[in-house]
Amino acid sequence: MNALRVGLVGATGAVGETLLRVLEERRVPLAHLAAFGSRDREAAVRYRGAMLDVRATTGEALADRDVVFFAGGESLGEAFFTDLAARGIYCIDNNPTFRLRDEMPLIVPEINAAALEAQHRILPVGNCTAILLSLALAPIRDTAGLREVVVSTYQAASGAGRAGLEELDNGQRALALGDREEPAVVFPAQLARNVVPQIGGFDADGWSGEERKVAAETKKMLGLPNLEAIATCVRVPVRTAHAEAIVVRTERPTTVALLQAAFERAPGIHFHAEGIVTPRDVEGSDEVHVARLRAEGNDGTRFALWCTGDQLRKGAATNAVQILELLIARGYLR
Ligand SMILES: NC(=O)c1ccc[n+]([C@@H]2O[C@H](COP(=O)([O-])OP(=O)(O)OC[C@H]3O[C@@H](n4cnc5c(N)ncnc54)[C@H](OP(=O)(O)O)[C@@H]3O)[C@@H](O)[C@H]2O)c1
């Protein structure tokens, strides 16, 4: 493999910063990393002990890269990505734009690495909540088939990026000090001392954008287009890591013991046979933590479980870096 030249668009954001840390930790063999954002800034991000300049994102500035991670810049537009792809540059893209295109795979390496093919250049990274959900559902699918999933989510403020975290922090500080709280801007209602049952805009049928993404992308990642999937997505005043309360109906009868064994074998899963696990416990972890697995009724097809995972890592940055590692392992990067 030639010396690998990588770009990171959105290096100053919540996902971009996590990408820098994950690239360092996993010792991905990069020859050069260049950081990009909406504008030029000197010495703005840290990577491998050095401060890197951040440059404004243009097609020209990215032209000498072999691979570009996108963690921001949804306004760049589709043509921006297709132009880079036409030049042979791999675009590993956290934006939602391409995720549901039939011709593009939605790779979660533990689940569907086989979907990656040599000709793919635009590689979308799925919605963070959907990635965590798909990992938690894959062992159930493989054990007894999956007919239906109903999920209620408890999503952290950092899911809305740096601005979301700041709004939560400012609201909590104002409440603690008895100061006047600023009106909500990032979230549809103030998040401090609250939960907010809306993530994204509502469509004509009353579903939020996040609920639609979670349902559609989970089906695609699991390769189950006929899965009945219903999501209710809720923002909670947690800094990092999403949690999900999941109810499933399987195709065939199974048992808690068989599902437990499947979870214990599954890559990317940390199964907790006893007790609970909370978002604070899993900050910085690359695994999806599954707990409280239980059966409902006697026919062996209805189960409930809880999962939580760091959405900035496995839900975004780690999954993106794993896709790069897959490209390297397959020998696609020359
Ligand atoms: N947060 C999560 O948990 C999460 C999970 C999965 C996927 N995602 C997706 O990942 C992306 C980044 O999210 P985030 O939470 O990290 O957001 P964020 O904290 O708001 O950061 C946004 C980043 O995008 C950059 N940016 C904005 N406009 C740009 C433009 N026109 N050209 C180039 N760069 C631009 C910003 O750079 P400046 O500092 O220069 O403005 C900043 O680095 C989004 O597409 C989001 O949907 C987020």
Q: Residue-wise over 48-59: b if at least 16 C-beta within 10 A, else e?
A: eeeebebbebee
pLDDT at 74: 84
pLDDT at 61: 96
Is residue 73 pLDDT above 80, yes or no? no
Per CATH, 5-126+316-330 and 130-311 having the same topology is answered no
The predicted-structure confidence for 19-39, as pLDDT tens digits, reads as follows 999 999 999 999 999 999 999
The predicted-structure confidence for 116-128, as pLDDT tens digits, reads as follows 999 999 999 999 9
Cβ of 15 below 6 Å from ligand 1: yes
pLDDT at 2: 67
The predicted-structure confidence for 145-171, as pLDDT tens digits, reads as follows 999 999 999 999 999 999 999 999 999
Over residues 54-74, the mean pLDDT reads 95
Closest ligand 1 atom to the C-alpha of 242? 3
Sheet holding 32-37, edge to edge: 41-47, 50-56, 32-37, 5-9, 67-70, 90-93, 122-124
Cβ of 126 below 6 Å from ligand 1: no
Cβ of 316 below 6 Å from ligand 1: yes
Over residues 198-206, the mean pLDDT reads 98
Is residue 334 pLDDT above 80, yes or no? no
Place of tokens 């401090």: 192
Over residues 242-258, the mean pLDDT reads 98
Q: Whole-model pTM above 0.95?
A: yes
Regarding predicted confidence, which is higher, 67 or 334?
67
Among protein residues, the one whose CA lies closest to atom 47 of ligand 1: 95
Amino acid sitting at position 28? V
Cβ of 324 below 6 Å from ligand 1: no
User: How far is ligand 1, taken at its centre, from the CA of residue 10, in Å?
Assistant: 5
pLDDT-based confidence at 212, cuts 50/70/90?
Answer: very high
User: How far is ligand 1, taken at its centre, from the CA of residue 44, in Å?
Assistant: 15
Name the average pLDDT for the chain. 97
Cβ of 72 below 6 Å from ligand 1: yes
Over residues 320-325, the mean pLDDT reads 98
pLDDT at 3: 87
Over residues 95-119, the mean pLDDT reads 96
Question: Among 17, 52, 94, 213, which residue has the most ligand 1 atoms within 8 Å of its CB, making it the best to mutate?
Answer: 94
Residue 128 a catalytic site member? yes
* CATH fold for the domain made of 130-311: Dihydrodipicolinate Reductase; domain 2 (3.30.360)
Is residue 58 pLDDT above 80, yes or no? yes
Over residues 64-76, the mean pLDDT reads 93
Cβ of 4 below 6 Å from ligand 1: no
Domain boundaries, the chain: 5-126+316-330, 130-311
Among protein residues, the one whose CA lies closest to atom 37 of ligand 1: 37
Kindly name the residue from 242, 270, 289, 307 that is annotated as catalytic. Answer: 242
pLDDT at 89: 97
The predicted-structure confidence for 127-152, as pLDDT tens digits, reads as follows 999 999 999 999 999 999 999 999 99
Q: Name the CATH superfamily housing domain 5-126+316-330.
A: NAD(P)-binding Rossmann-like Domain (3.40.50.720)
Residue 242 a catalytic site member? yes
Kindly name the residue from 91, 120, 128, 233 that is annotated as catalytic. Answer: 128
E strand residue ranges, the chain:
5-9, 32-37, 41-47, 50-56, 67-70, 90-93, 122-124, 146-155, 228-235, 242-250, 269-271, 288-295, 302-309
